[in-house]
Chain A
Amino acid sequence: MTAVLTNPLRVGLRQERVIPPQCLVIFGASGDLTHRKLIPALFELFRQRRLPSEFAVLGCARRPWSDEEFRARMAEALSDEVADHASAWEQFSSGLFYEPVDLQVPEHLVRLGQRLEGIDRLRATRSNRTFYLSVSPTFYGSGCRALADAGLLNDPLRSRVVIEKPFGRDYGSAEKLNRIVQTCAKENQVFRIDHYLGKETVQNILVLRFANTIFEPIWNRNFISSVQITAAETVGVEERAGYYESSGALRDMVQNHLTQMLALTTMEAPGRFDPEAIRNEKAKVLQAARLADEAEPWNCCVRGQYGPGGSRSRPIKGYREEPGVNPNSTTETYVAMKLFIDNWRWQGVPFYLRTGKQLPKRLSEVVLTFREAPVHLFDAAGGSPTANQLILRIQPNEGAEFRFEVKAPGSGMRSRPVDMQFSYDESFGEPSDEGYVRLLADAMLGDPTLFTRGDEVEAAWRLYTPLLELIEDSPWQLPVQPYEARTWGPAAADSLLASDDLMWRRP
């Protein structure tokens, strides 16, 4: 008999919310994101029967494609899935349409409106529309304005707009973009996407904290001595040199993904599970966060850039040798920093954030280190007892781990640390949805819980403003320090913690 691969008793038990009839309009439909993430996520939703029959996707870009050409290109990009689920694809792709649109040309917007009305009649999508701006960030503001001028955002209950990251380049540009967007649509129509929030394990931070009674009483400065948040990548810049050269690790990872993990880890309990209540708490804690030394940020931040590495048989290029990268580039591919949060819960607790490319392991995790026992009664096998640690593993091997001391077997009373593990794989054994599946569904449902609100984005940018200004105005004070590819970053990052008698956790 063949082994049971999935749990047959689990099928259909999740009560999924029903996405209302609607048309999803993707601007930038000829771009990578559409065929790499968005259409696969929508096809997954279709196969999970979570899309209503009254549903359509309208791809929009400048290229003069037809509906058939758009469908053929998407089928080619998803060839494996299409081969495995041919009849499902046939059904799904009949709801894919394409309209050549340049958002800067008003006549195109008029034509778009007419096309949408036609789709409403054809697919019964009832004038519900989600506009997805998968375009260059420089067009976010003008794109929203064009949609608003064409009257396509007039109905706050039937239209919403999804904006990809990055939302601004700094506090000033984010604030300006927010002002533009908020004149075009109400805040509850705007969905600023951060795909990290679509990860099951990031959402689990909220459940772990607020669905259990054992963690919250000790989740504060009285019991926690420090927190580390790491997002490490083993890849280099790949084909994103053009974008990465102008952003760097700080803008690409820290301001959004790491800051969201920080906010979920440190926010106060919301009064209820409600998008605004949660986003209020996140915004509040980010407003209370600051760099450990705002006056002299170089004391609390390290920038690095990967150099050549690897082995003789498998050499790895340094960042400056990557195609499309300036050979004298000073863009950071690694950043580590120390933050504080000035509120009653976290005053005095250091938060260490780090992210980098070409590091030895791909992983994201939050590590909460608890204060040591006030008196050491026992000898520790490792010399001194290890502080308790709670490790929330975001990826890979998603789960949580709690490290504590136990009696080492034997006649003496020596202690040694052990790990208590929870693994999503072992407990559930089902792959969780890709982040875009969850986020696209939520946007179409009009649920903004996992999207960043305007004030949250601004608070996140404001937090790093001293650092961004320093890099802009006097970069020599915070130079990029080279590190060998596939090592854990520059030595200065270790020194940042060593000065507090701490070490980065080596996962």
Chain B
Amino acid sequence: MTPQLTLQAPVELPPPELTSYLEKLWQHDLEHSSGASTFTLLVWQPAWVEQHLVRLGRLEGPVTGVVRPEVLEAAREAVDFCGLPPSTSPLAPELAMALGEHTGVDHVGEDLRGQHVESAISAYQPRRLITLAPTLSKSAGLETLVAAYCPLSEEGNNGATCGDVVVLRGDFDALREGLSLLQPLVPDDLPCWVWWNGSLEEAPDLLAALSSPGRRLVIDSALGPPRRCLDLLEERVNSSTAVNDLNWLRLRGWRESLAMVFDPPGRRESLSHVVHLDIDVEGSHPVQGLLLAAWIADRLGWHFVTSYNMDGDAIGADFERSDGTEVRLKLMPVPVGIPSSHPGTIVGLRLICEPDDRQPLCVILCSETGGCMRLEAGGVARMELAEDVVPKVPGSDEMEMGRLLGGGHDSTTPLLAAAAPLAAKLLPH
């Protein structure tokens, strides 16, 4: 989908004039339009990798915050340039940190973060899109930019329904200072979504301030330390405050493919006889794999017993089925030549069921982009084999966000609410 630019070039204003300018904008420039009665979307948009790539001249600007193919390509090349392991994902915070250590001539690129409205999001007509754009510079004061946007309807109706775009740009301190401007900008009568599109550890105070309980927080648990990601999910679930996770949404294909294997009624009995679950993930970020394991365990009613570290950075866990039989989980990081965009993407899954009076069943699901040789090895020949390839979930993070916004749910999805606390237990302390 092509990003839509704002209706007008954003106006840069002194921060104190922001509110009065917005009022003027609606009274004069947009007086023939109606304000969308939808929601506010607050986005934390650091785009560290993209900013560094532009700074180092490895990518042509502008910086948009949208993960374009050029950004991914330049980031993959930078993994090698920084001497990181080839399995490092192009969006991994480690890459941004490694790039940050390279100094030299700083290239200056235009910063358009917050001014490109992805059509996957603009289709839902946010009433106000507020972007917090932290800069690489440690001494950048607060800049505020404002613009209106009116998504063009395909039906071409005349009465445009418009929203506005606000960008707060600056270093961490400047953005902290900008927090006081934010509250009046969030209409009380509309739902407010907060998309933390960065690592969860980089500005905990800002994250806490933005994601106050009434707001619908969206994180990406592939970004940031696994313990921090899972603890945050668990905290929000336990306190019944809405949280969504793009990393969980990206599991959709795996959950659907595994459910499909057991759709034929003849296979369902086997689900009561699972003895082993293996999950392989890219690199060393286990959260997506743990969420999948937790979902399976929750759906099949297994009781968590213990979890532990194993050789080769693997994670092991023991469960007990309702009939008392032990189920073993092994989550194994595997190196890959061309890693996916997000750290810890699942490569393969193997589920072994041993019904009492039937041939054992071995289910192997394999990602479209990787191989499953490790899972296919090891005595599965005597079993009934159900193998399938899990299609890559198409679309960008913006499209996943669009899906969330379109769904309109104001609470955590029950499946994630059940899986996240268990996934937190599965990660050994």
Q: Would you list which residues of chain B between 314 and 369 have a CB under 8 Å from chain A?
A: 322-323
Q: Is B259 an interface residue (CB 8 A)?
A: yes
Asked if B408 is at the interface of the complex by the 8 Å CB criterion, the answer is yes
Interface presence of A411 (CB below 8 A): no
Whether B265 sits at the interface, judged by CB under 8 Å, is yes
Contact B299 A428, beta carbon cutoff 8 Å: no
| Given contact pairs A4-B272, A7-B268, A12 touches B262 in the complex (Cβ within 8 A) | no
Asked if A503 is at the interface (CB within 8 A of a chain B CB), the reply is no
B residues near A427, Cβ cutoff 8 Å? 263-264
Task: For the complex, give the distance between the alpha carbons of A306 and B168 in Å.
Answer: 78
Measured in the bound complex, the distance between the Cα atoms of B346 and A49 in whole Å is 31
Q: Is the CB of A9 within 8 A of B262?
A: yes
B263 near A1: Cβ-Cβ < 8 Å: no
Query: Which residues of chain B from 249 to 304 have a CB within 8 Å of any chain A CB?
Result: 255-256, 258-259, 262-266, 268-269, 271-272, 296, 299-301
Q: Which of B122-130, B203-211, B236-244, B409-417 forms contacts with chain A?
A: B409-417
Complex formed: what's the CA distance from A10 to B256 in Å? 8
Tell whether, in the assembled complex, residue B414 and residue A12 are in contact, meaning their CB atoms are under 8 Å apart: yes
Complex formed: what's the CA distance from A13 to B262 in Å? 13
B184 at the interface (CB under 8 A from A): no
Number of contacts between A and B (CB, 8 Å)? 58
Bound CA span A270–B403, Å: 23
Q: Name B257's closest neighbour in chain A (CB-CB).
A: A9
Q: Would you call A9 and B407 a contact (CB within 8 A)?
A: no
Interface core residue of B259, B266, B300, B301 (most chain A CB under 10 Å): B259
Contact A18 B268 (CB under 8 A): no
With both chains docked as a complex, state the minimum distance between the C-beta of B221 and any C-beta of chain A, in angstroms: 19
Taken residue by residue from 31 to 75, chain B's Cβ proximity to chain A (1 for < 8 Å, 0 otherwise) reads as: 000000000000000000000000000000000000000000000
Given A7-B259, A10-B259, A12-B414 in contact, is the A18-B265 Cβ separation under 8 Å? no
Chain B residues with CB under 8 Å of A3's CB are: 268-269, 272
B413 nearest CB neighbor, chain A only:
A12
A83 within 8 A of B: no
B-side contacts of A10, CB under 8 Å: 259, 262-263
The B interface, classified by DSSP as helix, strand, loop or mixed, is: helix
CB-contact partner of B323 in A1, A15, A17, A18, under 8 A: A1
Q: Are A426 and B265 in contact (CB under 8 A)?
A: yes
- Given A18-B407, A18-B409, also A8-B299 (CB < 8 A): yes
User: A10 vs B415: C-alpha distance in the bound complex, in angstroms?
Assistant: 11
What's the minimum C-beta distance from A13 to chain B, rounded to whole angstroms?
6
Q: Which residues of A contact B271 (CB under 8 A)?
A: 4, 7-9
B263 pairs with A7, CB closer than 8 A = yes
A334 vs B408: C-alpha distance in the bound complex, in angstroms? 48
In the complex, what distance in Å separates the CA atom of A13 from the CA atom of B261?
A: 14
Instruction: Write the nearest CB–CB distance from B8 to chain A, whole angstroms.
Output: 28
CB-based contact B265/A9 at 8 Å: no
Contacts of A13 in B (CB 8 A): 255-256, 259
Give A10's nearest chain B residue, CB to CB.
B259
- CB-based contact B300/A8 at 8 Å: yes
Task: Answer yes or no: A429 CB below 8 A from chain B CBs.
Answer: yes
Q: Size range of the interface on A?
A: 20 to 34
Give the complex CA separation of A13 and B266 in angstroms.
Answer: 20
Also in contact, A9 and B264, with CB within 8 A (given A1-B272, A4-B272) = no
B414 lies within 8 A of A7 (CB): no
The residue from B256, B263, B408 contacting A18, defined by CB atoms under 8 A apart: B408
Contact A12 B415, beta carbon cutoff 8 Å? yes
Q: Across the interface, name the chain B residue whose C-beta is closest to A11.
A: B299
User: Chain A residues near B272 (CB, 8 Å)?
Assistant: 1, 3-4
CB within 8 Å for A9 and B408 given contacts A1-B272, A4-B268:
no
Interchain nearest-CB distance for B360 vs A (Å):
16
Per the bound structure, the CA–CA distance linking A426 and B256 in Å amounts to: 18
Least distance between B298 CB and chain A CB atoms (Å):
9
Chain A residues closer than 8 Å to B413, beta-carbon distance: 12
Contact B264 A4 (CB under 8 A): no
User: Is there contact, CB below 8 Å, between A15 and B259?
Assistant: no
**Chain B residue nearest in CB terms to A12:** B415
Residues in B with CB closer than 8 Å to A430 are 263
Q: Using Cβ atoms and an 8 Å threshold, which residues of chain A touch B299?
A: 8-9, 11
Task: Report yes or no: A429 in contact with B268, Cβ–Cβ below 8 A.
Answer: yes
Q: Chain B residue with minimal CB distance to A49?
A: B414
Q: Compute how far the CA of A346 lies from the CA of B415 in the bound complex, rounded to whole angstroms.
A: 48
Please measure, in the bound complex, the distance between the C-alpha atom of A5 and the C-alpha atom of B299, giving whole angstroms.
14
Chain B nearest Cβ from A134, distance in angstroms: 29
Instruction: Determine if B269 and A9 form an interchain contact, defined as CB atoms under 8 angstroms apart.
Output: no
Chain A 138-170: CB-based contact to B (< 8 A → 1; otherwise 0): 000000000000000000000000000000000
Query: A5: which B residues are within 8 A, CB to CB?
Result: 268
Cβ of A15: which chain B residues have Cβ within 8 Å of it? 403, 407
CB distance from A21 to the nearest CB of B (A): 11
Are A4 and B269 also in contact (CB < 8 A) when A9-B255, A9-B258, A9-B259 are?
Answer: yes
Q: Which residues of B contact A429 (CB under 8 A)?
A: 263-265, 268
Residues from chain B with Cβ under 8 Å of A6 in the complex: 268
Lowest 8 A-B CB distances belong to which pairs? A429-B265, A9-B259, A4-B268, A8-B299, A10-B259, A12-B415, A7-B262, A428-B263
By a beta-carbon cutoff of 8 Å, the part of chain B in contact with chain A is 255-256, 258-259, 262-266, 268-269, 271-272, 296, 299-301, 322-323, 403, 407-409, 413-415
The contact sample of 23 A-B pairs, CB cut-off 8 A, is A3-B268, A3-B272, A4-B269, A4-B272, A6-B268, A8-B271, A8-B299, A9-B255, A9-B258, A9-B271, A10-B259, A11-B299, A12-B414, A13-B255, A13-B259, A15-B403, A18-B408, A18-B409, A426-B264, A426-B265, A427-B263, A428-B264, A429-B268
Contacts A5-B268, A429-B265 aside, 14 further interface pairs with beta carbons under 8 A come to: A1-B272, A1-B323, A3-B269, A4-B272, A6-B268, A7-B263, A7-B268, A8-B299, A8-B301, A9-B258, A13-B256, A18-B408, A426-B265, A429-B263
